[in-house]
Amino acid sequence: MIYREAGQFKTTYASDQQLFPILQDRVFVIGFLVFAFGVMPFIGTEYLFRAILVPFLILSLAAIGLNILVGYCGQVSLGTGAFMAVGAYAAYNLAIRVPDLNLIVVFLLSGVFSSLVGVLFGFPSLRIKGFYLAVATLAAQFFIDWLFARVKWFTNDSSSGSVSAPPLEIFGRVFDSPEEKYLLVLAFVCVFALIARNLTRGAIGRSWMATRDMDVAAEVIGIRPMAAKLSAFAVSSFFVGVAGALWAFVYLGSWEPLAFDVNRSFQLLFMIIIGGLGSILGSFLGAAFIVILPLVLNQLPRALGVSLSTEMVSHIEIMVFGALIVIFLIAEPRGLARLWAVGKEKLRLWPFPH
């Protein structure tokens, strides 16, 4: 009923191929964007922006990047944290060594660097796949961790190995307040989500998906596995690298290699598994689940007026969070995005299920 498409006729190819062919989806997405850009900056608190929305948006971007690689192209990667680190340190070095460069350019260039490194570590994917590839990308993680911790040039000879980002100045304007930072990140994420959505709908995305589903068959129908796999690594690392640069500059401000250790890679992998492999929406849902839920669980006892000791709250948070992951994966192994799709199907038939 709510999602009924009866009467929505597509008379041109263009209207059939648009991003959201269903009117309700379009209305919802536009409404959501208007809310996110126009209303949110006025009603949100500083805590909401700085501690919840900014990390959520940036990790969503990284999750989209990883989803392109794992969800769409089927190349399992455990090196996401490392590619984020490449983006972060590339942005830092560009900003420090070429101070006149516009920060937007810095972020995009750092994505390019990350993309190059991603392709380099993507070469093994031409020979190996599955768990074996996961282990090969894990090597990237450890190597890059080591590189940034040991080679002093990357940290501008910082004595403690911790580096600090210069002020966020873009076109002569310093993005300082939480609202500005939020809007900056939101703009980045929206543009990149749009790019990702279009890439995955087009020829290149289809070649990724064909490679994922059955690489031999894909090769037979004329898809070059090398181009498909390496382009997936390149695009994925580009997204992840930009996310890393944003994470370092906008969210952390000052960081050490530990901020991008193997735990970050696992966290991102869990995001796309729980959110839904091969889905842009799933990347957002998964990021929300992993970033926001623990914070909510941590604050829930106090908000409900239950007084518990700090360590008890912390333990409950970990237990409930773990249990929820198991429950969600049992209820819907294909992730939260699939849950949403099922919900949409039901709304289409509502109120007369048959």
Interacting residues toward another protein by CB under 8 A: 45-48, 50-52, 55, 96, 149, 156, 159-162, 164, 166-167, 176, 252-256, 258-259, 292-293, 295-296, 298-300, 302-304, 309-311, 313-315, 318, 331, 339, 342-343, 346
Which of 235, 269 has the CB closer to another protein? 269
User: In whole angstroms, how close is the CB of 277 to another protein at the nearest point?
Assistant: 20
User: In whole angstroms, how close is the CB of 253 to another protein at the nearest point?
Assistant: 5
User: In whole angstroms, how close is the CB of 290 to another protein at the nearest point?
Assistant: 12
Which of 15, 156 has the CB closer to another protein? 156
- Helix/strand/coil (H, E, C) string of 60-85? HHHHHHHHHHHHHCCCCCCCHHHHHH
Which of 102, 156 has the CB closer to another protein? 156
Which of 122, 257 has the CB closer to another protein? 257
> Containing H/E element for 178?
helix 178-201
Whether 118 and 233 have beta carbons less than 8 Å apart is answered as: yes
Whether 52 and 258 have beta carbons less than 8 Å apart is answered as: no
Which of 103, 210 has the CB closer to another protein? 103
CA–CA gap between residue 354 and residue 351 (Å, rounded): 10
CA–CA gap between residue 351 and residue 186 (Å, rounded): 36
Comparing CA positions, the residue from 59, 77, 92 lying closest to residue 257 is 92
User: In whole angstroms, how close is the CB of 331 to another protein at the nearest point?
Assistant: 7
User: In whole angstroms, how close is the CB of 142 to another protein at the nearest point?
Assistant: 10
What are the tokens at 280?
A: 């842009």
CA–CA gap between residue 272 and residue 6 (Å, rounded): 33
CB-count exposure of residue 166 (10 Å: 0-12, 13-18, 19+): middle
